[in-house]
Structures are given as structure tokens and as C-alpha cells.
């Protein structure tokens, strides 16, 4: 029989806050992290705004030498991991068996800003001037490596890469590894720092990004009739997953329970999905089945909700097909309206928000939803947070390449 897995630690770095309390308060308050790009000169770009992290100080968790030798995506990951481990009661790095503790942290793009900077150096100054730290700064698995070294976690250690489903897959993998005995604790999630010249140019040229440059705080508008693309975000989301018996034995605060995980492939298109998002349907059904849940047990779905013309109605149709008539009585929302689309970090950031929604009985809103698309015809929780007792929820993620994930979480009832 699979072992039960609970959430005992939460960590966030987002465009609306550099911690869980800051981000949660901003989310419930309907704040947007959107604004003009400051990380580079975007004046010649089609899209000149993003959801950047603000006021972040890596020296709070790294020394100056470490900062100099790490990309921003790794800095975000470590900061969120330190918060999550502190929140879990492991802030001093003790209280757990390092050989039974793992790290699974992914990134959709990794150190792309380091890559751009070092490429400029190679072109202008020659290959001998490229940093000796270029490779370990750039590669996508290095965040997991750095976090494992910080906590001497010697259990399963790797990175996941499945585009915008990355960190949801990381959490799902961690859930499975604990459930089947490979570890007792895993630090899991994702991180992204892709507000960069190449990433923004590439996404804009494939017509994926919003070009609503005059309205950066309202451009991310999932399910709205006037949406015109996603808004790039950055940050990190980390959860500490723990074997229930281990958490109870040490008297840990339990934020929620992971009960189910579904992962599927579309095998359909590089960047699109079928009209009914059949792959996501199967992922949601698998998460429910894995968690022993019936559709009517679920009150809330944190949607992938990217604010793109294709994704939003397709996802709503998928939810309708999975939940049937019960879909009318659920709340759906997309927290990307506040944080932007953080690519490989999105699934974990949204898993944190979903866990908090279950714990506090508050459904975060979809902000900027003023003219709901008739094709997105469920209760998408427009603009204002809603108090509601939630006992079970799903959080969905999907990625270019046809990757689909759904994670089922339940409220911790003390048993």
C-alpha cells in the first residue's frame, strides 16, 4: 500500500512578493506584478513588459561568491527552498536523515540570461574569456544541486524539464518517490528567470505573448474575451513533501496532503492542444482516480489558465468533460493573472497557492476578468477572492510539447 504524503513546507518568490505571506496577501488583494521590463533594454521588442521579481536580495541566502557564480534562476530556487525548509521546521538543517531526503527542482529554460551574457563575451572578447562557471551556471539541473548541497540532502536528486509542466511534474515525481519508499522528505518545485532578450523575442515572434504594452498590470487576463497572449513571469515555487508518519512523529505543521497525480502526453502539436484538451482530461481523471476522489468531491481547480486565445477555452472544455454537471458548482481560477506565466516554475507556485486555498478556505481570484469569454463559461472567480470551504482541489499544468499534469490536493483534517 502506498504511503501518505503531506505538505509541511512552502516557499515562494514571485512578482507580487518575495515570500509566501507577501505573495498570498497580494494574490488575495487582487494585485498584479506586471510592469515594464527592467532587466534589459526592451525598446525594440514587440512585448516590452513582464512580471519581474522586485526587490530580491540573493545575499539573504547566499554569500557574495555564491551569487557571482549562480544564475538568477538558481538564486530564486535557493531562496524559496530556504523559506520552505524553515517553514517545515528544518531551518537549521537538522531534524531529518539526509540519506532519506531528496531534491527535485526543475526549470523550463534554466540560465538563459547567463547564456546570453556569456555568448556576448565570446563574440566580442573571444572564447578564452568565457567564464569557467558558465556551464554550471547555465544548466537546468544546477538549482537542484545547489539546494541539495545546502541541506546535504543525499536522497533522489535531479531536475525535471517539461516546459510549463516542469515543476508540477517535479512535485508529482516527489509524491511518488515518497509514497513508494524511496525517500521520506523531498524538496520539490521549480524556478525560472527567463525575462531575457532571447526568450521574450522568441515567445513574441511565435505570437504567444501579449503585446498590450500600454497596460502591463492588466494584460494577463485569463478567460477574458480580450486576452491576447500570456505575460512572461519569473520566480520560484517550492514545497517540502514529507511522509505522513514522519511528519506526525516530529509534530510538524501540516498544510495539506497530496493524494493524486496524473501525467499525460498529447502527441499532437509542438505548441498547441486539441480543442477538448483530451490529454489534460486524462491527467485530471488520473489524479482523481489516484487520490480516491470522485468528481463531486472537488470544489476548486487552479487552472493552467495562460491568458492565450487557445488554452483557456480548451481547458474549460476539458474541465467540463471531466466534472460533468458538477463543474457548474465549482470555482476555477488562474493565479497567472497576478503572477504572470512563470513557465517551469508555474506548477509549483500554483501548487503552493492551491494548498493555501485549501488550508484557509479562500479561493484566489482571476484578476482582470471583466469581459468573460462565453467559451470560458464556468465560475472563473472574477477579480475578488471568495471564501469557501474547500476539501479537495486540482491544480493543472501543461507545456509545449504536449505535456499535461494534474495534482490532487486535500485539506488536512488532522487524520
Q: 119 phi and psi, to 5 degrees?
A: -65, -40
Q: For residue 49, which of 31, 32, 73, 66 has the smallest C-alpha distance? A: 32
Is 164 tagged catalytic?
yes
Q: Which of 164, 246, 380, 403 is catalytic?
A: 164
Q: Which of 246, 255, 304, 403 is catalytic?
A: 304
Q: For residue 276, which of 307, 318, 332, 223 has the smallest C-alpha distance? A: 318
Question: What pLDDT does 1 receive?
Answer: 62
326's torsion region: left (phi>0), alpha (psi -120 to 50) or beta?
Answer: alpha
Q: What is the pTM of this model?
A: 0.97
- Alpha carbon of residue 40 to chain centroid: 24
Distance between CA atoms of 352 and 414, rounded to whole angstroms? 19
Q: Report the interhelical angle of 142-151 vs 72-87 (nearest 10°).
A: 40
Cβ count within 10 A of residue 387: 9
Is 380 tagged catalytic?
no
CA–CA distances in Å: residue 212 to residues 51, 209, 227: 13, 9, 9
Mean residue pLDDT of the chain comes to 97
Distance between CA atoms of 81 and 240, rounded to whole angstroms? 8
Distance between CA atoms of 415 and 405, rounded to whole angstroms? 27
Distance between CA atoms of 250 and 240, rounded to whole angstroms? 15
In the numeric block, the cell 551556471 is attached to 137
Q: For residue 144, which of 133, 155, 134, 135 has the smallest C-alpha distance? A: 155
pLDDT lower than 70: segments of the chain: 1
Task: Write b or e for each residue in 350-379: b if 16 or more Cβ atoms lie within 10 A of its Cβ, otherwise e.
Answer: bbbbbbbbbbeebbbbbbbbeebbeebebe
Are β-strands 235-243 and 5-13 bridged in parallel, bridged antiparallel, or unpaired?
antiparallel
Distance between CA atoms of 360 and 389, rounded to whole angstroms? 8
Structural contact between residues 401 and 255, judged by C-beta atoms closer than 8 angstroms: no
Q: For residue 290, which of 179, 389, 182, 216 has the smallest C-alpha distance? A: 179
Q: Which residues share a beta bridge with 396?
A: 406
Distance between CA atoms of 151 and 101, rounded to whole angstroms? 9
Please give the full DSSP string across 269-295, using - where no structure is assigned.
-SS---TT-HHHHHHHHHHHHHTT--G
Structural contact between residues 47 and 200, judged by C-beta atoms closer than 8 angstroms: yes
Please give the full DSSP string across 187-215, using - where no structure is assigned.
EEEEEE---SHHHHHHHHHTT-B---TT-
Is 51 tagged catalytic?
no
Question: pLDDT, tens digit, for every residue of 241-272?
Answer: 999 999 999 999 999 999 999 999 988 888 88
Distance between CA atoms of 50 and 37, rounded to whole angstroms? 6
Distance between CA atoms of 250 and 96, rounded to whole angstroms? 10
Structural domains of the chain, with CATH = 5-249 (3.40.47.10), 262-410 (3.40.47.10)
Task: Write b or e for each residue in 221-260: b if 16 or more Cβ atoms lie within 10 A of its Cβ, otherwise e.
Answer: bbbbeebbbbbbbbbbbbbbbbbbebbeeeebebbbbbbb
Q: Which of 341, 376, 380, 403 is catalytic?
A: 341
Amino acid at each position: 500500500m502506498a504511503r501518505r504524503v503531506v505538505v509541511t513546507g512552502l516557499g515562494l518568490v514571485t512578482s507580487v512578493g518575495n515570500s509566501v505571506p507577501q505573495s498570498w496577501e497580494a494574490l488575495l488583494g487582487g494585485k498584479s506584478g506586471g510592469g515594464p521590463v527592467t532587466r534589459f533594454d526592451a525598446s525594440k521588442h514587440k512585448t516590452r513588459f513582464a512580471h519581474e521579481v522586485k526587490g530580491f536580495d540573493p545575499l539573504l541566502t547566499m554569500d557574495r561568491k555564491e551569487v557571482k557564480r549562480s544564475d538568477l534562476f538558481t538564486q530564486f530556487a535557493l531562496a524559496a527552498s530556504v523559506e520552505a525548509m524553515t517553514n517545515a521546521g528544518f531551518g537549521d538543517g537538522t531534524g531529518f536523515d539526509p540519506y532519506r531526503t531528496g531534491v527535485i527542482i526543475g526549470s523550463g529554460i534554466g540560465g538563459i540570461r547567463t547564456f546570453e551574457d556569456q555568448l556576448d563575451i565570446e563574440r566580442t572578447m573571444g572564447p578564452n574569456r568565457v567564464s569557467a562557471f558558465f556551464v554550471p551556471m547555465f544548466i537546468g539541473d544546477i538549482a537542484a544541486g545547489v539546494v541539495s548541497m545546502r541541506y546535504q540532502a543525499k536522497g533522489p536528486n535531479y531536475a525535471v524539464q517539461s516546459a510549463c509542466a516542469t515543476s508540477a511534474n517535479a512535485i508529482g515525481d516527489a509524491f511518488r518517490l515518497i509514497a513508494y519508499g524511496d525517500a521520506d522528505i523531498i524538496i520539490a518545485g521549480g524556478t525560472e528567470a527567463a525575462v531575457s532578450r532571447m526568450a521574450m523575442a522568441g515567445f513574441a515572434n511565435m505570437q504567444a505573448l501579449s503585446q498590450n504594452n500600454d497596460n502591463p498590470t492588466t494584460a494577463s487576463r485569463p478567460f477574458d474575451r480580450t486576452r491576447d497572449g500570456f505575460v512572461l513571469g519569473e520566480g520560484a515555487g517550492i514545497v517540502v513533501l514529507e511522509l505522513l508518519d514522519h511528519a506526525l512523529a516530529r509534530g510538524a505543521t501540516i498544510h495539506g496532503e497530496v493524494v493524486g497525480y496524473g501525467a499525460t502526453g498529447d502527441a499532437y502539436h509542438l505548441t498547441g492542444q486539441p480543442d477538448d484538451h483530451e490529454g489534460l482530461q486524462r491527467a485530471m481523471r488520473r489524479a482523481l482516480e489516484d487520490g480516491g476522489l470522485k468528481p463531486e468531491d472537488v470544489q476548486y481547480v487552479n487552472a493552467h489558465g495562460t491568458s492565450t486565445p487557445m488554452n483557456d477555452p480548451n481547458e474549460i472544455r476539458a474541465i467540463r468533460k471531466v466534472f460533468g454537471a458538477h463543474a457548474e458548482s465549482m470555482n476555477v481560477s488562474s493565479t497567472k493573472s497576478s503572477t504572470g506565466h512563470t513557465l517551469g516554475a508555474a506548477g509549483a507556485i500554483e501548487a503552493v497557492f492551491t494548498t493555501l486555498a485549501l488550508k484557509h478556505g479562500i479561493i484566489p481570484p482571476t484578476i482582470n476578468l471583466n469581459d468573460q469569454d462565453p467559451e470560458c463559461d464556468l465560475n472563473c472567480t472574477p477579480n475578488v477572492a471568495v471564501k469557501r470551504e474547500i476539501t479537495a482541489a486540482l491544480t493543472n499544468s501543461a507545456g509545449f510539447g504536449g505535456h499535461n499534469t494534474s495534482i490532487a490536493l486535500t485539506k488536512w483534517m488532522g487524520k
